[in-house]
Every structure is written in structure tokens, then in C-alpha cells.
Amino acid sequence: MCPIQRGGTLGSRQNQVMQRKKLITLAAVAGILACGACFLPPPHEPPPPLPPTLAAVYTIAIQVEDTTTENRLDPVPMSEATARNFNRLWADFRVRAKPFGAEGKSDAVLKITIRRKTKSCRPSGGKLFCSYEMIASFTVTAADGGVLQNKAEQRSQFGLWEDAGAAHGDWNSIPHRQRAAYALAISSGFIFDTPSKLGLRNSP
């Protein structure tokens, strides 16, 4: 009877070992799945509703005006570029933009008035990295002239690498204007209180 008992004990131990291996394997698989879930993108959230004063706004005409005394930005290409960037940046939002003066009806006008522009540069690797800042007011006006939303002072910033020793400060050059319009389009989104909920596209 002893050999039988030893054989039964050995078989029981083998079963226990197999069960432990299965549990370890299941735990490892569960860990891999849980870890993989950490890298999944967050669920898509719809943009929040507009403030009550802007609830009826679906199309805005963007008008950019530079009131500074030096290196004034050309209003027409700036308005066009800012509207284009607004539509690209806030593609998930129901409000669409067009440049001021373009054909078609708009529910409101977003006037961006640039009041101050600053620039500071630092050398790095034989080039200059220049930081630009625009301080502007953002005012949304309805078709009947009523002010729907207003932010008296909003800061918009961008940076550019420039060659050391080259002429600088031409805000109307294509690289400057593109980045300035992109920065203003980002700030325009804050008028509608949506940037925290929407994903920005890559900068140009």
C-alpha cells in the first residue's frame, strides 16, 4: 500500500504545481492586458456647450487689426490665415470661421485688435531663437452690433529660429505671419471656452 500512497502523493503535488503555473500564467496575461489599457487613448469627449451669449453663433467672420506703430501686420492675409487656422485647430467644434469681408453670411464678427507686439532673442548654436508675443483684445459682435463676448487683453505667443546677423523684425514675412496667425487662432478658441476639451493640431 505504501507505493500506492507515495504515487498518490506525487500525483497530487504535480496537480498543485500545474495549478500554480496556470494561476501565474493567468496573472501575467491579466497584467499585460491591464498595462496595455494604460496606453489606450482617452475616450472622445464632445466639446462643451457654448456660453449662453454665443449659443446662436455658427459662423464667425474673423477680422485682425494691428494698431501698433511699427511692423504692422497686413490685415487681409492675417485675417485669412487666422480663420484658416481656426478651422483646422478647432475642427471638432461646430463654429466655423471665415475671413472678414468674405462672401456669405456670418452670425457674428470676431475682431482681434493687436495693441502691443514684443520680441526677444537669445543665441544658440550660431542662430537666434526669437520669442514673439502679441497682446490683443478679442471681441465677438453680433450682426445687430451687440457685444456677445469680450476679452480685453489676451496674450498670444510663438517662436522662430533665425539666422544670427540677418535682418529681423519683419512680421509680414511668410514664416512670421503663419505663426502669428496660428497663435491668434489658438487664442480665439479661448473666446468659446473650448481649448481644454479639444485636441490641438500640430503647429505649422
Task: Say whether both 28 and 119 belong to one domain.
Answer: no
Task: Say whether both 75 and 25 belong to one domain.
Answer: no
Q: Which residue range is the domain that position 91 belongs to?
A: 52-191
Residue 46 lies in a domain: no
Give the lowest-confidence range in 14-23, 67-76, 151-160.
Answer: 14-23
Residue 125 lies in a domain: yes
How far apart CA 97 and CA 192 sit, in angstroms, is 13
Task: Say whether both 16 and 60 belong to one domain.
Answer: no
Task: Say whether both 22 and 56 belong to one domain.
Answer: no
Average pLDDT over every residue of 68-97: 93
How far apart CA 112 and CA 150 sit, in angstroms, is 10
Task: Say whether both 22 and 57 belong to one domain.
Answer: no
Domain count for the chain, please give it: 2
Q: Is the pLDDT of residue 203 over 60?
A: no
Task: Say whether both 94 and 63 belong to one domain.
Answer: yes
Task: Say whether both 108 and 183 belong to one domain.
Answer: yes
Long-range contact set of residues 198-203: C-beta below 8 Å, sequence gap at least 24: 198/47, 198/89, 198/90, 198/92, 198/93, 199/92, 200/89, 201/88, 201/89, 201/91, 203/158, 203/179
Task: Say whether both 69 and 116 belong to one domain.
Answer: yes
Q: What pLDDT, on the 0 to 100 scale, is given for residue 61?
A: 97
Q: Is the pLDDT of residue 135 over 90?
A: yes
- Whether this model's pTM surpasses 0.85: no
Q: What pLDDT, on the 0 to 100 scale, is given for residue 170?
A: 78
